[in-house]
Amino acid sequence: MRILVTGAGGQLGHDLCRLLDAESRTERTRDTRVLAWAGLTRSDLDLSDAARVRAVIADQARPAKVQGGLVVINTAAWTDVDGAEADETGAYAVNATGPAHLAAACAEAGAALVHLSTDYVFDGTASKPYETNDPPGPVSAYGRTKLAGEEAVLALCPASYVVRTAWVYGRSGNNFVKTIARLARERDELSVVADQHGSPTWSADLAAGLLDLVTARPAPGIYHCTGGGETTWFGFARAIVAAIGEDPAKVAPTTTAEFPRPAQRPAYSVLSARSWQDAGLRPLRSWDEAFAAAVADFGPELPG
């Protein structure tokens, strides 16, 4: 098959392209081999331009006819959660309108689409991991725009997969891991919220999971894929600080009420791996095991 990654400049897109490049250099055999791939950044393909999206997907689909078909993995997104509160229209254009253009183009070209979504489509009031069929109820502009993107993709492209993930961090770009590592070296004390629960997800592991998904090609629909287990931002921060050789005790717990942000965060947004397992896919390893591997992979990108 031929794989096209949109949003290749982001941390997940970067790791997907890195993985696909490595796969293309090996003799590893899969049930459905990746015969070709391409990665497009926003400057290469702005999803808000419907005509351009249609032309690019049609162009990519032509060689894919002799390469086992085209699969598009859309990692492009507006990820500034607080910024979306101030500009929900802008966030909607990126998180909903753009994916709708992509889904329509994929349907017309006979391509499959994998679209990344988020735990923020839920309200966070649950006490056990969310299943794919649990009713969404976003409490932020970001969550609302991502849910709208899910709905558009599923409605417009029959061969579509919506993959919800959470708390993603990677080697490329800015993220919680890099921020906490930097602050831990600059300050004697950090306060991090301890009442928001989720599952940190290393983008390299998520990339590998997505490649397994498009190889296996289970029934289209919604899937959840995150690092295994759960923690809090406070617990994750302490793990980060310890990993760079600083004293984790310098991280103090605080509450969401004491650390107000423009956008409301779900208090509990752990996603169940049941859908992933039922499709015959191997769940990602535990978040702490993945983080240990990520630290080695970050190299100079993670202060130490």
Burial 18-50 (b: 16+ CB within 10 A, else e): bbbeebeeeeeeeeeebebbbbbbbeebebeee
- Residue 219 φ then ψ, to 5°: -60, 140
- In the numeric block, which tokens belong to residue 275? 């859908």
Return the DSSP state at 129: P
> One of 92, 120, 130, 142 is an active-site residue; which one?
142
Instruction: List Cβ neighbours of 71 (8 Å cut-off, separation of 6 or more).
Output: 1, 2, 3, 4, 111, 112, 113, 114, 214
> What whole-number distance in Å separates Cα of residue 256 and Cα of residue 56?
44
Q: Which residue has the tokens 């708390």?
A: 167
Contact 228, 277 (CB under 8 A): no
Residue 169: active-site member? no
Instruction: List Cβ neighbours of 137 (8 Å cut-off, separation of 6 or more).
Output: 121, 122, 123
> What whole-number distance in Å separates Cα of residue 32 and Cα of residue 16?
17
Contact 186, 45 (CB under 8 A): no
Contact 109, 72 (CB under 8 A): no
125 HSE (CA, 13 A, CB side): 7
261 HSE (CA, 13 A, CB side): 17
Nearest-CA neighbor of 121 among 139, 108, 107, 94? 139
Instruction: Let me know the angle formed at the C-alpha of 194 by 188 and 200, rounded to the nearest 5 degrees.
Output: 95
**Would you please indicate which residues are annotated as catalytic (active-site) residues?**
142
